[in-house]
Chain A
Amino acid sequence: MRRTIAWFALLLALALASVAHPVEQDDGALDAEVARLRSAALRLRLDRSIRVLRVSEALRVHGRELCGSKVSPVLGVIAASEDELPRFFRETAKRDFGVGEKVRLVWVEPGYPAAEAGLEPGDLILEVDGKRLRTAAGLYSRHSGRIGPHLDMRVERDGRAFEIQVETRLGCFAASIVLGADHVNAWMGGGRVTITTGALRFVESDDEIAVILGHEIAHHILSTGGRPFFEADADYMGCYLAARAGFDISVAPGLWERFGRFEPFSLDRDLRSHPGSPERASSLEATIQEIRAKQMRGEPLWPRGAP
Chain B
Amino acid sequence: MAARRPVRIPFLAAIALLLFSIGCAARLAPPEADEVQAESAREAHTAAAIDDLSGMIERVLRVSGRLRTAGARFCEDQVAPLLGIDIEQRIPAPDPPHFWDAYLATFGVEKKITVTVVDPWSPADRAGVRSGDWILAVNGRRARRALDVFEILRDEPDRPPQLKIQRGEETLEIQTELRPACAHEVLVNLTSEIITGRAKRNHAWISVGMIRFVETDDELAVVIGHELAHRIRGGGHGSKTELRADKIGLVLAARAGYDETVAPAFWERFALEKPWMIRWEPDSKRAKEPWHARVAERLLAMRKVLGEIARLRTEGRPLLVSDEGARP
A residues sitting closer than 8 Å to B (CB atoms) are 2-3, 6, 9-10, 13-14, 16-23, 25, 29-30, 33-34, 37-38, 40-42, 44-45, 86-89, 180, 182-184, 197-198, 201, 222, 224-225, 227, 229, 232-233, 235-237, 257, 260-265, 267-269, 275-283, 285-287, 290, 303-307
Given the known inter-chain contacts A19-B312, A180-B276, A182-B209, please indicate yes or no for A278 contacting B297, CB distance below 8 A: no
Q: Which residues of A contact B170 (CB under 8 A)?
A: none
6 tightest CB-CB pairs across the interface, nearest first?
A236-B30, A286-B31, A18-B322, A264-B49, A22-B301, A41-B275
8 CB-based A-B contacts, threshold 8 Å: A9-B73, A17-B328, A18-B321, A25-B301, A37-B272, A86-B285, A278-B45, A305-B28
Chain B residues in 8 Å Cβ range of A227: 21, 25
For A42, list chain B residues within 8 Å (CB): 275
Interface pair A22/B99, CB less than 8 Å apart: no
User: How long is the Cα–Cα vector from A229 to B30 in the complex, in angstroms?
Assistant: 12
Kindly list 15 other residue pairs between chains A and B, CB separation below 8 angstroms, not including A20-B328, A306-B27. A17-B320, A18-B328, A33-B297, A40-B268, A180-B276, A182-B274, A183-B193, A229-B28, A236-B28, A263-B193, A264-B45, A264-B50, A264-B53, A267-B46, A267-B99
The CA-CA distance from A40 to B272 in the complex, in Å, is 7
| Chain A residues closer than 8 Å to B195, beta-carbon distance | 182
B45 touches A277 (CB 8 A): yes
- In the bound complex, residues from chain B placing their C-beta under 8 Å from that of A2 are 77
- B272 contacts A304, CB within 8 Å? no
Q: Nearest CB to that of A201 among chain B residues?
A: B273
Q: A261 to B317, alpha carbons, bound, how many Å? A: 47
Nearest A residue to B17 by beta-carbon distance? A225
How many A-B pairs with Cβ below 8 Å? 224
Contact with A along B64-99 (1 / 0, CB 8 A): 000000000100110000000000000000000111
Q: Which of B34, B50, B251, B285 contacts A282 (CB 8 A)?
A: B34
Given contacts A6-B77, A42-B275, A224-B25, is CB(A87)–CB(B34) below 8 Å?
no
A21:B52 contact, CB within 8 angstroms: no
Answer yes or no: B173 CB below 8 A from chain A CBs: no
Chain A minimum-CB-distance residue to B194: A182
Distance to closest chain A CB from B11 (angstroms): 19
B275 touches A13 (CB 8 A): no
**What's the nearest-Cβ distance from chain A to residue B94, in Å?**
14
Interface size on B, residues (CB 8 A): 78
Contact check: which of A14, A41, A281 meets B323 at CB < 8 Å? A14
Of the candidates A201, A265, A275, A278, the one whose C-beta lies within 8 Å of that of B191 is A265
Question: What is the minimal beta-carbon distance from A290 to any residue of chain B, in angstroms?
Answer: 7
CA–CA, A40 and B317, complex, Å = 37
Report the minimum CB–CB distance from A198 to chain B (whole Å): 7
Say yes or no: is B304 at the interface (Cβ < 8 Å to chain A). yes
List residues of B (268-287) whose CB comes within 8 Å of A's CBs. Answer: 268, 271-276, 278-279, 281, 283, 285
SS class, residues of chain A in contact with chain B: helix
> Cβ of B31: which chain A residues have Cβ within 8 Å of it?
236, 283, 286-287, 290
From residue B90, how far is it (CB to closest CB) to chain A in Å?
Answer: 17
The reply to whether B42 and A22 contact each other, CB–CB distance below 8 Å, is no
Instruction: Pick from B25, B273, B283: contact of A86, CB below 8 A.
Output: B283
Complex contacts, A282 vs chain B, CB 8 Å: 33-35, 37-38, 41
Point out the residues of chain B lying under 8 angstroms from A22, CB to CB: 243, 247, 301, 304-305
Residue numbers in A under 8 Å from B27 (CB-CB)? 222, 305-307
| Chain B neighbourhood of A290, CB < 8 A | 31
Q: Is the CB–CB distance between A37 and B278 below 8 Å?
A: yes
Give the shortest distance, in Å, between B211 (CB) and chain A (any CB).
Answer: 12
Partner of B326, one of A21, A285, A303: A21
Shortest CB distance A261–B (Å): 5
Please list the residues of chain B having a beta carbon within 8 angstroms of any beta carbon in chain A: 21, 24-25, 27-35, 37-39, 41-42, 45-46, 48-50, 52-53, 73, 76-77, 97-100, 103, 191, 193-196, 209, 243-244, 247, 251, 268, 271-276, 278-279, 281, 283, 285, 295-297, 299-301, 304-305, 308-309, 312, 315, 317-328
**Are A21 and B33 closer than 8 Å at their CB atoms?**
no
Q: Are B45 and A261 in contact (CB under 8 A)?
A: yes
Q: Report yes or no: B278 in contact with A16, Cβ–Cβ below 8 A.
A: no
Give the secondary structure class of B's interface: helix
B50, B272, B322: the one within 8 Å of A21 (CB): B322
Select which of A45, A201, A233 is within 8 A of B275 by beta carbon. A45
Compute how far the CA of A197 lies from the CA of B77 in the bound complex, rounded to whole angstroms: 42
Q: Known: A40-B272, A224-B25, A267-B99. Is A14-B326 also a contact (CB below 8 A)?
A: yes
Residue of B nearest to A185 (CB): B193
Q: Which residues of A contact B276 (CB under 8 A)?
A: 86, 88, 180
Write the nearest CB–CB distance from A215 to chain B, whole angstroms: 12
Residues from chain A with Cβ under 8 Å of B317 in the complex: 16-17
From A14, A197, A232, A264, give the contact of B30 (CB < 8 A). Answer: A232
Instruction: Given A17-B318, A265-B191, A304-B28, decide whether A25 and B300 contact each other with a Cβ distance below 8 A.
Output: yes
Determine if B275 and A30 form an interchain contact, defined as CB atoms under 8 angstroms apart.
no
Residues of B within 8 A of A232 (CB): 30, 33
Pairwise interchain contact B275-A19, C-beta atoms closer than 8 A:
no
Chain A residue nearest to B31 (CB atoms) is A286
User: A166 → chain B, closest Cβ, in Å?
Assistant: 32
**Looking across the interface, which residue of chain B has its beta carbon closest to that of A304?**
B29
- Nearest neighbor of A3 in chain B, beta-carbon distance: B77
Question: Given A29-B300, A257-B41, A307-B27, do A19 and B247 touch, yes or no (CB 8 Å)?
Answer: yes
Please tell me if the beta carbons of A261 and B48 are within 8 angstroms of each other in the complex: yes
What residues on B are CB-neighbors of A304 within 8 Å?
Answer: 28-30
Task: Give B238 Cβ to nearest chain A Cβ, in Å.
Answer: 14
- Complex Cα spacing A182 to B270, Å: 11
Whether B49 pairs with A260 at a CB distance below 8 angstroms is: yes
Contact A264 B46 (CB under 8 A): yes
B45 touches A20 (CB 8 A): no
